[in-house]
Amino acid sequence: MKIIGVLGGMSWESTVVYYQLMNQEVRRRLGGAHSAEILLYSVDFGRIEELQHAGAWDELTAEMIGGARRLAAGGADFLLIATNTMHKMADAVEEASGLEVLHIADATARAVQSAGLRRVGLLGTRFTMEQPFMRERLEGWGLEVLVPPEEDRRAVHRIIYEELVQGVVRDESREVYRGVMARLAQRGARGIILGCTEIGLLVGPEDAPVPVFDTTRIHAVAAVDRALAE
């Protein structure tokens, strides 16, 4: 089994889910008391969040590279960045650390293709929805990506940062997300990508009129695929 290096803590609420999912998947496949071999470097998300909203992406890239190098020094065989937004600097992290980065968009695109879909809606932080790094990576797989309009993007982003990363799950916020997803489906989305690793804490398949693709779960399973590959 290869050692999974995880850059986590963005937020720790979703990193806990990653850890649980990877261990459950290894146990499901290998049986008995087996669990995943994982190295985790968990950041202080308060600092990361401040830098994100200040647009300090160079400083954030340096933070991610530093964490990845710690994981490489610890013996990780490949790297998982346990957040969608920080895949903005995935290529730089891979190059500087020498570790393969298992990209969340690639794993998600494969899952969408396997479902026979092409046009999908993308939810996430405003960085993920508005900047090109996630959308263009998905489009490189032949997908057509729709994002919500400005008002919906603001609401989705606010709920992530003011509630979900702090472990707050509210029924009224679930209704907001249901409305956003329904409007994306009305615009022609045949599936919805939950493109922030905390969104799955709030909504699931039962909340959307079309299939949902939870990037946290997809990414965690892809990591186990990689760890157990010959």
Contact 196, 148 (CB under 8 A): no
Residue 196 designated active-site: yes
Q: What is the pTM of this model?
A: 0.96
Residue 15 designated active-site: no
Closest CA to 79 of 28, 156, 6, 170: 6
Indicate the SS3 state at residue 8: strand
What is the CATH architecture assignment of 4-103+218-228?
Answer: 3-Layer(aba) Sandwich (3.40)
Find the helix packing angle between 104-114 and 132-139, rounded to 10°. 40
Give 124's DSSP letter.
S
> pLDDT, tens digit, for every residue of 80-118?
999 999 999 999 999 999 999 999 999 999 999 999 999
Residue 26 Cα distances to 20, 35, 74, 120, 200, angstroms:
10, 5, 21, 29, 21
Taking 90 as the threshold, does the pLDDT of residue 64 lie above it? Answer: yes
Tell me how far apart the alpha carbons of residues 150 and 183 are, in angstroms, rounded to a whole number: 13
- Band the pLDDT of 230: cuts 50, 70, 90: confident
Query: Tokens in use for 127?
Result: 């960085």
Do 104-215 and 4-103+218-228 fall under one CATH topology?
Answer: yes
Counting every residue, how long is the chain?
230
User: Which strands make up the sheet holding 4-8, listed edge to edge?
Assistant: 38-42, 4-8, 78-81
Catalytic residue among 61, 83, 125, 128: 83
Assess if CATH 3.90.1150.10 describes domain 104-215.
no
Catalytic residue among 15, 125, 128, 196: 196
* 163-185 mean pLDDT: 98
Taking 90 as the threshold, does the pLDDT of residue 57 lie above it? Answer: yes
The helix or strand, by DSSP H or E, that contains position 191, with its residue range, turns out to be: strand 191-194
Q: To the nearest whole number, what is the mean pLDDT of the chain? A: 98
> pLDDT, tens digit, for every residue of 188-203?
999 999 999 999 999 9
Query: Tokens in use for 173?
Result: 């916020």
The torsion of the CA quartet 201, 204, 207, 209, rounded to 10 degrees, works out to: 150
Q: How far apart, in Å, do the first and last CA atoms of the chain sit?
A: 9
The residue extents of the domains of the chain are 4-103+218-228, 104-215
Q: Are strands 4-8 and 78-81 parallel, antiparallel or unpaired?
A: parallel
Closest CA to 68 of 49, 85, 84, 81: 81
> pLDDT, tens digit, for every residue of 4-15?
999 999 999 999
Tell me how far apart the alpha carbons of residues 28 and 14 are, in angstroms, rounded to a whole number: 21
